[in-house]
């Protein structure tokens, strides 16, 4: 075993051991405690946990990779990921918590008083979770391949990374539930933020200038490595050569709009993120938590953009070093997702690479944990506890949730093992970020319209919500399948919409909800449910008192 392997495995082992110990907390067999941490999560802790949930491999590795590979076009990922919490803050966070439900599907079922809506939402939730899990597992495999370079028990290095991360995180979630996962995610986000700040500090200490770096890498046409050759990133719209500091190389105007809308709307429909709001003590605490999330996530993404740009310059300058030459073609990384990992080694040597790799695994572990908890809540509480076995006890729902964790994580690992991420490198700026975008597209098309309309339009009915979920989900899945089968390009208008279909699927879902509700003879929301969503003056005063008590005010 090389020195790099020994250091990498040692740090990785410490990270996995630490998060396992954090998760090993006694969790009672009740749905509120296992799925919601007893609804006693503080504002700052919950904000850190949401960031840990949200800042996945797509954020830690993917955003820097997208910026590295496509320059300004890659910045749209950082913009969309951060801006997604603005509509959550303004329209979703407080009402979502006030209704007092357990999961996103449970929220929609209670709002529309329908198990048919619950079933449709569960199907959408599980598809979103699965499509979000796969790129995290892919990121684990790519990171293990670069960090360790060796497999275990006859597996390839990529497959070993997928299997190890899947086994570790599914075990953590089965043991600790939401309470253990909350502390796990909050602490891991602190670790991620510390690592990107450390990398930025090393760059600034070395005299790095962001404007100067952009100018330097924009001097030549933008290129990507395809196998052992270089290929220029085509600027199909302007007919010229794509440049790092100019838009249009990867995404045209339609593509930029489609990507941004997909990421902004998708956030409010992500089950693993929205489920965290049910753990807040009050609706006011949920809103305050979102303010913290906006600040923390915005800072992280700003640094990620800078680090991706810095990697583009430094890799070209050090491409003749033997270890880096093996990862590049004429000064361009073969796998853009290696950008931060390579930057860690360039700035901090072998220990620097190991620290960044550990942070990458921490990001994946944190997000996978949140996704598996959401899968557990959706299946255990909504399917078993409310549809199949409504008279069963809470222990039965928790056991079903734990079984769902094992099943979903195994299925995601199998899909990740058969995926060939290198096949997509010439089309998309970051394989991981792109695959996560597809999960956002499904969430924003199937779930977000029902959530927003259900909160703010009294007349919306169960029939409308059910139809809207199916229409939005079917359009999103169908568009993505057609786009991938036809090898559509995000630089073309039609291709961009097929690959980021929320631009058309979300309006179609919303229109379906409205039209079906207007023709539906049943009544809309029940008065007491509407009051719980938005509260009376007395409710809001009681909420303020509860929030002050939670803070320890006198």
Give per-residue pLDDT as tens, 391-424. 666 677 778 777 888 888 888 888 888 876 655 5
Measured between alpha carbons, how far apart are the two ends of the chain, in Å? 59
Domain harbouring 276, CATH code: 1.20.1730.10
Mean pLDDT of 213-222: 86
238 pLDDT band, cuts 50/70/90, is very low
Least confident of 154-168, 374-388, 519-533: 374-388
How many domains, in total, are found in the chain?
1
Selected residue with higher pLDDT from 199 and 279: 199
Least confident of 101-105, 192-196, 200-204, 266-270: 101-105
Q: Is the pLDDT of residue 68 over 60?
A: yes
pLDDT number for residue 450: 97
457 located within any domain: no
CA neighbours closer than 13 Å in the CB half-sphere of residue 534:
13
Selected residue with higher pLDDT from 18 and 39: 18
309 located within any domain: yes
User: 């006859």: which residue's tokens?
Assistant: 154
Selected residue with higher pLDDT from 510 and 496: 510
Backbone angles phi, psi at 384, to 5 degrees: -80, -50
Selected residue with higher pLDDT from 462 and 139: 462
pLDDT number for residue 109: 93
250 located within any domain: yes
Mean pLDDT of 494-509: 93
Look up the domain containing 205 and give its range. 3-418
Selected residue with higher pLDDT from 492 and 356: 356
Spatial separation of the C-alpha atoms in residues 44 and 59, rounded to whole Å: 21
What pLDDT, in 10s, does the model give residues 339-394? Answer: 999 999 999 888 888 888 888 877 777 787 778 878 877 777 788 877 777 766 66
Mean pLDDT value across the chain: 82
Mean pLDDT of 160-181: 71
Spatial separation of the C-alpha atoms in residues 133 and 137, rounded to whole Å: 6
Contact 92, 276 (CB under 8 A): no
Mean pLDDT of 486-504: 87
Selected residue with higher pLDDT from 87 and 175: 87
Mean pLDDT of 218-229: 72
Q: Is the pLDDT of residue 218 over 50?
A: yes
pLDDT number for residue 1: 38
227 pLDDT band, cuts 50/70/90, is low
pLDDT number for residue 12: 58
Spatial separation of the C-alpha atoms in residues 137 and 162, rounded to whole Å: 5
Encoding tokens for residue 455? 């909160």
pLDDT number for residue 22: 54
pLDDT number for residue 27: 45
Mean pLDDT of 82-108: 90
What pLDDT, in 10s, does the model give residues 249-276? Answer: 778 888 889 999 999 999 999 998 898 8
pLDDT number for residue 503: 94
Contact 62, 433 (CB under 8 A): yes
**Exposed, middle or buried by CB within 10 Å (0-12, 13-18, 19+), for 469?**
buried
90 located within any domain: yes
pLDDT number for residue 399: 80
Please, what is the angle between helix 502-519 and helix 253-267, to 10°?
A: 50
Mean pLDDT of 454-477: 96
């Amino acid at each position: 075993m090389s020195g790099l392997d020994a250091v990498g495995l040692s740090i990785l082992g410490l990270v996995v051991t630490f998060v396992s110990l954090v998760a090993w907390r006694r969790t009672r067999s009740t749905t509120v405690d296992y799925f919601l941490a007893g609804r006693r999560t503080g504002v700052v802790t919950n904000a850190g946990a949401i960031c840990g949930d949200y800042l996945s491999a797509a954020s830690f590795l993917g955003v820097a990779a997208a910026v590295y590979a496509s320059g300004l076009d890659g910045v749209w990922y950082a913009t969309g990921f951060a801006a997604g919490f603005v509509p959550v803050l303004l329209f979703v966070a407080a009402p979502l918590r006030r209704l007092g439900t357990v999961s996103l599907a449970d929220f929609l079922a209670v709002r529309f008083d329908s198990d048919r809506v619950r079933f449709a939402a569960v199907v959408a939730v599980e598809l979103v979770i699965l499509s979000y899990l796969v790129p995290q597992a892919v990121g684990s495999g790519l990171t293990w391949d670069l960090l360790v370079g060796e497999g275990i028990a006859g597996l390839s290095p990529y497959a070993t990374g997928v299997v190890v991360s899947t086994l570790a995180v599914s075990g953590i979630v089965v043991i600790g539930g939401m309470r253990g996962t909350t502390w796990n995610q909050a602490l891991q986000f602190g670790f991620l933020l510390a690592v990107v700040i450390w990398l930025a500090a090393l760059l600034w200490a070395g005299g790095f200038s962001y404007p100067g770096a952009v100018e330097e890498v924009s001097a030549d046409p933008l290129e990507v490595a395809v196998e052992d050759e270089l290929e220029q990133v085509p600027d199909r719209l302007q007919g010229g050569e794509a440049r790092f500091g100019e838009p249009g190389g990867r995404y045209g105007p339609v593509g930029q709009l489609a990507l941004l809308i997909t990421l902004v709307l998708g956030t409010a429909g992500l089950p693993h993120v929205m489920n965290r709001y049910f753990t807040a003590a009050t609706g006011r605490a949920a809103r305050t938590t979102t303010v913290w999330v906006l600040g923390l996530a915005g800072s992280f993404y700003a640094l990620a953009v800078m680090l991706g740009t810095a990697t583009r310059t430094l890799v070209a300058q050090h491409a003749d070093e033997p270890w880096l030459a093996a990862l590049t073609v004429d000064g361009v990384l073969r796998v853009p997702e290696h950008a931060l990992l390579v930057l860690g080694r360039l700035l901090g040597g072998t220990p620097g690479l190991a620290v960044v790799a550990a942070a990458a695994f921490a990001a994946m572990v944190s997000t996978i944990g949140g996704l598996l908890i959401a899968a557990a809540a959706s299946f255990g509480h909504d399917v078993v506890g409310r549809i199949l076995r409504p008279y069963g006890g809470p222990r039965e729902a928790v056991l079903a949730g734990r079984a769902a964790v094992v099943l979903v994580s195994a299925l995601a690992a199998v899909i990740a093992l058969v995926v060939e991420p290198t096949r997509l490198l010439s089309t998309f700026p970051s394989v991981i970020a792109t695959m996560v975008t597809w999960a956002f597209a499904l969430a924003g098309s199937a779930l977000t319209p029902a959530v927003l309309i259900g909160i703010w339009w009294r007349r919306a009915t169960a029939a409308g919500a059910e139809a809207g979920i199916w229409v939005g989900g079917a359009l999103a899945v169908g568009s993505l399948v057609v786009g991938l089968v036809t090898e559509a390009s995000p630089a073309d208008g039609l291709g961009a919409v097929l690959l980021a279909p929320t631009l058309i699927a979300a309006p179609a879902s919303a229109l379906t909800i409205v039209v079906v509700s207007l023709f539906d003879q049943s009544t809309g929301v029940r008065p007491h449910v509407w009051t719980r969503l938005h509260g009376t003056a007395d409710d809001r005063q009681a909420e303020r008192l509860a929030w002050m008590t939670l803070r320890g005010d006198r």
